[in-house]
């Protein structure tokens, strides 16, 4: 359906309090599982930075952080299926324990590509942590070891997630309304 109305954050799916509880749980799980090791958390720019910043303050064991920027969506709200590395990691991950920190898994195309690229660099281990996973129609199978919450297959913004670079600063996660991807 065509509309003249500019899409805006509408229904709140996760409040700031909901997110804090999820992040605390994930931080606890990672702290327990990686006790005695020195994992590298790789945040995917830009959407993953707010999540990473909160997550590392809920992790009680020593760890390092790195950033990776890939592009798949451009200005669109549906996955283009094409991924490319825009900014690469600074450090070597060979022999290291890696946790990729992603904001939302939609089709899984982005994470599948990143896992493939990182695996070729011979880390000791490679796991995924995602705040959100959509119940997508045709997802690529991605084993997300640390999952925050499943959400409906709607376009969401806030807590790092953007619509055309807007709304990343919102402390909650809301559905964009009207949904620009809906037909
Ligand atoms: P996928 O490759 O289809 O799994 O898409 C994953 C990437 O698309 C995420 O890293 C996000 O940056 C972006 N993305 C997917 N869904 C949304 C959304 O609802 N809001 C904002 N960004 C999204
Ligand atoms: Mg994005």
DSSP for 91-124 reads S--TT-EEEEEEEEESSSHHHHHHHHHHHTT--S
How many other β-carbons are positioned within 10 Å of the β-carbon of residue 18? 15
Instruction: With a cut of 60, say whether residue 29 has pLDDT above it.
Output: yes
State pTM to two decimals.
0.91
* CA of 102, nearest ligand number: 1
Protein residues placing their CB within 5 Å of the ion ligand 2: 47
Give the model's pLDDT for residue 142: 81
Residue 137 reports pLDDT greater than 70: no
Confidence of residue 90 (pLDDT cuts 50, 70, 90): very high
Residues across the chain: 183
Handedness of CA 30, 32, 37, 38 (dihedral sign): positive
Name which residue sits closest to atom 3 of ligand 1, judged by CA: 107
pLDDT band at 56 (very low <50, low <70, confident <90, very high): very high
State the chain's mean pLDDT as an integer. 90
């Amino acid at each position: 359906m065509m509309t003249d109305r500019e899409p805006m954050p509408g229904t709140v799916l996760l409040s700031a309090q909901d997110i804090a509880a999820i992040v605390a749980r994930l931080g606890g799980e990672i702290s327990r599982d990686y006790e005695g090791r020195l994992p590298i958390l790789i945040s995917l720019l830009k959407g993953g930075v707010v999540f990473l910043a909160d997550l590392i303050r809920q992790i009680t064991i020593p760890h390092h952080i790195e950033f990776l920027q890939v592009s798949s969506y451009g200005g669109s709200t549906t996955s283009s299926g094409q991924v490319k590395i825009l900014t690469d990691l600074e450090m070597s991950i060979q022999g290291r324990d890696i946790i990729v920190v992603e904001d939302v898994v939609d089709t899984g195309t982005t994470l599948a590509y990143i896992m493939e690229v990182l695996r070729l660099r011979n880390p000791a281990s490679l796991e995924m942590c995602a705040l959100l996973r959509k119940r997508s129609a045709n997802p690529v199978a991605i084993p997300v070891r640390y999952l925050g919450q499943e959400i409906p297959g709607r376009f969401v913004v806030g807590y790092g997630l953007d619509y055309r670079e807007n709304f990343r600063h919102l402390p909650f996660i809301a559905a964009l309304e009207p949904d620009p991807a809906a037909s």
